[in-house]
Amino acid sequence: MNGPACLASWLILRHQKDMETGASQIAASANVSHRFCIAPMMEWTDRHCRFFHRLLTRRALLYTEMITTGAVLRGDRARLLAYDPAEHPVALQLGGCDPNALAQCARIAEDMGYDEVNLNVGCPSDRVQEGRFGACLMAEPALVGDCVAAMKAAVSIPITVKCRLGIDDQDPEESLEALTVRLKASGVDALIVHARKAWLKGLSPRDNREVPPLDYDCVHRLKRAHPDLAIVVNGGIGSVEQAAYHLKYVDGAMMGRAAYQEPARLLTVDPLLFGRSAPFESPRAATQAFVGYIERELARGTRLHAMTRHILGLFRAASGARAFRRHLAVEAVKPGAGAGIVAEALAMILDTSADFTQIAAA
């Protein structure tokens, strides 16, 4: 086994040892920490992405892409719900509005070892609206409560909800309060709030991530009104320092696009927010460890590009970053592309100051 493969195997074994001894019991049912989360993002946070993010932070709570109840119950479950043990703590995000179907899916998730099930009440896409789930459920707090109650009755792992401030012409204070009250009555374990409204008509899903103004104070006020409920803020958080600021007012912060587009930021999560050393001392070392995972997946028939697309933004500000991205984008998609292409791309990063060589516990 080569050096990178040893590094990846070492990370998995170290994580499993921590879990067994209780030294880092962050993935145990109700003890899952929401202090820092990486958002569920369609077409981005697949299992390869999540494994790489775990190489950068051992303590962030990871989320899958949203998977519909229909896909879980009738689709290729083994493929859709696959994850690596090193990903723990990892949560499954579900899309759906039928309490019985959601309860069935929650049981499947628990049986497969997921640490949490999250219900999507925030996605504004037309396709999601047609299925009567996602953000449109902000108009039906009683139904959302029934969904959560059904899942809570079916499993022992945490059940959480991710929502918006409101939709369309709803008053954010009223809509968010109504949903929160109903969810608390249903036993929800945490509420993750994207601090924007969603406009179901007139804005695309992309616009809904950027155009409606952020209102973090609304989320902060919600926490003050419900101090007994874990509240996590999401939306527009672009740095770990910003996440730390929000932790003065809420229980957790969730980072989305910034975590994906500039993943090197995640190396500061454990030192700044948890007082622990980062898993690896630099983006380069984490990438070398990822090569071990890549080699294993290539042997299983996974295409190289399916994995390397998640590391394109890793050296965003470094000298040679453009050559790094270009090499991966061009070469990794070719038939038969192997892990050596990653080593070639790494050799193009000339700015060693971008390696963050001394990331340690705060």
Which residues does the annotation mark as catalytic? 123
| Dist CA 315 CA 37 (whole Å) | 22
What string of DSSP letters covers 219-252?
HHHHHHH-TTSEEEEESS--SHHHHHHHTTTSSE
DSSP state of 43: T
| Dist CA 100 CA 136 (whole Å) | 19
Three-class SS of residue 78? helix
Half-sphere exposure of 208 (CA within 13 A, CB side): 23
| Dist CA 118 CA 160 (whole Å) | 5
DSSP state of 138: G
Token look-up 């896409």 returns 125
Vertex 53: Cα angle to 1 and 270 (nearest 5)? 105
Token look-up 């070392």 returns 285
> 196-213 burial by CB neighbour count: b if 16+ within 10 A, else e?
bbbbbeebebeebbeebe
Tell me which long-range contacts 124-130 makes (C-beta under 8 A, separation of at least 24). Answer: 124/164, 124/167, 124/198, 124/199, 124/200, 124/203, 124/205, 124/208, 125/205, 128/95, 129/200
| Dist CA 149 CA 184 (whole Å) | 10
Cβ atoms < 10 Å from Cβ of 140: 17
| Dist CA 207 CA 237 (whole Å) | 17
> 287-297 burial by CB neighbour count: b if 16+ within 10 A, else e?
bbbbbbbbbeb
